[in-house]
Amino acid sequence: MSWIQDLYQTYEACAGAVGVSLDGQDKMLLPIGHTLLKTSVEIHIRSDGTFVDASRDRGQGISICAPCTDDSEGRTANVSPHPLFDQVKYVAGDYNAFTGFPNRRHYTMYIENLKAWCASKYSHPKVTAVYSYVKKGTVLRDLIDVGVFTPEELRNTKQEGDKAKLTIDKVGIRFAVAIEGDLENRVWMDKTVQEKHIQYVSSMEGKHGMCYASGKMLALTENHPKKINSRAASAKLISSNAKENDNNNFVYRGRFHNAHQVVAVSYEASQKAHQALRWLISTRGYGCDTQAIVAWGVDKASQVPSFHEDSYGIYESEIESDADKLIEAGNQTFIDYARLLNAALLSSGNVNRLRAHARDIAVMATDATTDRTGRMSITYYRRLGENEYLERVVNWHSTCKWYQPFSKDKDGKYKPGYFIGAPSFDRIIDAVLGRKRSQTDANYDKQKKAARERLLHCVFDGERIPRDMVNAAIHRASNPLALEKTDAKGAAERWRGWEQVLCAACAMVKRYYHDYKEEEFEVVLEDQRTDRDYLYGRLLAVADRIESAARYKQGTAKDDARATNAIRYMNAFSQRPFRTWNMLFTQQLNPYIQQLNGAGWYLNQIESIKALFNVGEYESDSPLDGKYLLGFFAQRQALRQRQGENNKGTNGGEIK
């Protein structure tokens, strides 16, 4: 039960944020006894319950903070009205007359419950006004009169399973009450109404017992909230189905007599824990389909450095002051943001940012069943001290780093060049699985969710990066033509997809050798490394540069975006390097060597690389492993930097 205790503690620590709406109530920390209700119709009435006007949101409507009961919060197919705001079928007393569909006990139960609230000492003038209006049973007639609904619309149906349902069945209704001297007529925004409802619900406490979450003797509940994750709205974390199945002894299988013998959670603890989790997911959740992953400071739910972004993104969001950020200048073209994270997050060497990392940070992943209406499970949960959390994030970014192309900035444009750091989870998954083929690709979503959890274990549990994911990324990076965007105008756009996959794959390969072989690779060119695979990657990069340089010399700028022969044969090269290299060098590169007047500097580079092979390894035609990608990129980057220096006149070498 540690997760529910942590969420309960978080809610208690964030009491000052309860009911505070900065950007819509759908992302607000809700008071207990309240839920989110999507509404499209707003009815304006006077304090005596007289109808004034109504309007309808023709878009998606808005989600409001609506009072709820223990039963209505977790309702599925059962008739259980919310106390104040609800759907048309509950609020409209003339529902049957205008639609021809019986609403059975929906309106009767709604009006009886609202009457009981108004009769209690916890009533409120605005609640009384709503009751005075809805008891007249004229809601739909009034909405038709002002044009919110048409008579035809009230009879339109849609098929849900084997039953026909009205299209307006689930349209939510909210009320605005004009009271003299009260500037806030929106009832759902009135905190005094919320407080009265909490007091009213608390006065009707049920059976008491020991709450496993809080450790106190409190009123227990068997109905727990849903709508924790908006993409899995009806799924519940805790559900006993006791009322439906207990008589048949199905749920407990003879082990228990009732739900309280399994686990006892109070209404207060359940409400606070679920409200806290819903708020955390809506404001900082990392989502995919019905899966949500979130990390937060348990004490005050304070923001914590992200675990799933790339190194640049985390550094930029963590360091608020531009004066603290490293500004790119001089010869420092490629900034190692993974290294800077150490100082930014752990405050090492930075006396101005020393912190006593005493907080506990929780990391949670939840997911729902495929129908989004059943069980929601916690698939991952860890509680770490802040220092431990930050150290593990920094370790991941230090051991899984490589050159990474920038993502889009706030203006939607790509920043040129690279930074050094770990790729984001999403970029790693793109390198492993490819891009999603359609918005409704359920199989892809399933694989992506599994991959995200596996990466969580790598970051926080110290698990080794999965071999199958690394191999998949290597395979995709070795097939650049499959990632080419042929309709792009420039070379950068044409090959951006491949560059992103290549850089992510290199980072994963680097982490793989750290995990499995305890071998470290530098992100810069290691010109004395004698690994066969690394050296063959360097040869491929030189071949690529020879052709590119020859094209540039000939002034064929329009052809610059085309793949070089080295890139075209990259997949074959990775499988049979010796045979493919001989073909490239003797046949494909010869014309370009001639255009470069013999390309003496490049040929010297090739010979110096070949001299590093151990005896017999150059002639081996066995497939290459992921190290060839590291050698290819490091050599390619070294040649690019050298060309840049020559273009500035800082080096007299032969790059022509």
483-500 pLDDT, tens digit per residue, is 999 888 788 899 999 999
pTM above 0.85, yes or no: yes
CA dist 99 and 166 (Å) reads: 8
Flag the least confident range among 217-221, 251-255, 424-428, 471-475: 251-255
For residues 310-320, give the mean pLDDT: 83
Top-confidence range, 104-108, 272-276, 335-339, 395-399: 395-399
- Mean of the per-residue pLDDT values of the chain: 87
pLDDT band at 370 (very low <50, low <70, confident <90, very high): low
For residues 30-42, give the mean pLDDT: 94
Does the pLDDT at position 330 exceed 70? no
**What pLDDT shows up at residue 212?**
73
Long-range contacts of the stretch 223-227 (C-beta < 8 A, 24+): 223/70, 223/71, 223/73, 223/74, 224/73, 224/74, 224/265, 224/270, 224/274, 225/35, 225/73, 225/74, 225/270, 225/271, 225/274, 225/275, 225/278, 226/73, 226/74, 227/35, 227/36, 227/278
For residues 460-470, give the mean pLDDT: 97
**What pLDDT shows up at residue 371?**
62
Q: Per-residue pLDDT tens for 521-543?
A: 999 999 999 999 999 999 999 99
Q: H/E element holding 641? A: helix 627-647
**What pLDDT shows up at residue 331?**
41
Q: Across the chain, which distance is largest between two alpha carbons, in Å?
A: 98
pLDDT band at 47 (very low <50, low <70, confident <90, very high): very high
Nearest CA to 286 among 299, 274, 270, 304? 304
Pairing state between β 172-178 and 41-46: parallel
Does the pLDDT at position 338 exceed 50? yes
Task: Report residue 608 as tokens.
Answer: 């110096």
For residues 154-181, give the mean pLDDT: 85
**What pLDDT shows up at residue 652?**
36
The torsion region of residue 95 among left (phi > 0), alpha (psi -120 to 50) and beta comes to: alpha
Residue 420's identity, in one-letter code, is: I
**What pLDDT shows up at residue 221?**
77
**What pLDDT shows up at residue 588?**
94
Q: How far is CA 343 from CA 351, 359, 391, in A?
A: 10, 19, 11
**What pLDDT shows up at residue 503?**
98
Nearest CA to 269 among 12, 619, 626, 654? 12
For residues 584-612, give the mean pLDDT: 95
Task: Report residue 358 as tokens.
Answer: 């005493």
pLDDT band at 347 (very low <50, low <70, confident <90, very high): low
pLDDT band at 556 (very low <50, low <70, confident <90, very high): low
Residue indicated by tokens 């019905």: 290
CA dist 605 and 526 (Å) reads: 14
Does the pLDDT at position 100 exceed 80? yes
Does the pLDDT at position 414 exceed 90? no
CA dist 465 and 342 (Å) reads: 21
DSSP assigned state of 153: G
Distance from the first to the final alpha carbon of the chain: 68
Buried b / exposed e along 553-578 (16+ C-beta atoms within 10 A):
eeeeeeeebbbbbbbebbbebbebbe
285 or 440: which carries more pLDDT confidence?
285
**What pLDDT shows up at residue 321?**
44
Are 403 and 634 within 8 A, CB to CB? no
Q: Per-residue pLDDT tens for 187-210?
A: 999 999 999 999 998 888 777 887
Q: Per-residue pLDDT tens for 7-26?
A: 999 999 998 889 887 777 88
Does the pLDDT at position 653 exceed 50? no
pLDDT band at 651 (very low <50, low <70, confident <90, very high): very low
Task: Report residue 129 as tokens.
Answer: 């006004």
CA dist 211 and 273 (Å) reads: 13
**What pLDDT shows up at residue 328?**
43
Flag the least confident range among 68-82, 124-138, 270-284, 352-366: 352-366
Are 258 and 246 within 8 A, CB to CB? yes
Q: Per-residue pLDDT tens for 168-186?
A: 888 999 999 999 989 999 9
Residues with Cβ within 8 Å of 561's Cβ and at least 6 positions away in sequence, in order, are: 488, 490, 491, 494, 495
CA dist 539 and 535 (Å) reads: 6
CA dist 31 and 278 (Å) reads: 12
Residue 400's identity, in one-letter code, is: C
pLDDT band at 144 (very low <50, low <70, confident <90, very high): very high
- Helices (H) and strands (E) counted in the chain, each on its own, are 24, 17
Nearest CA to 367 among 293, 258, 434? 293
**What pLDDT shows up at residue 252?**
55
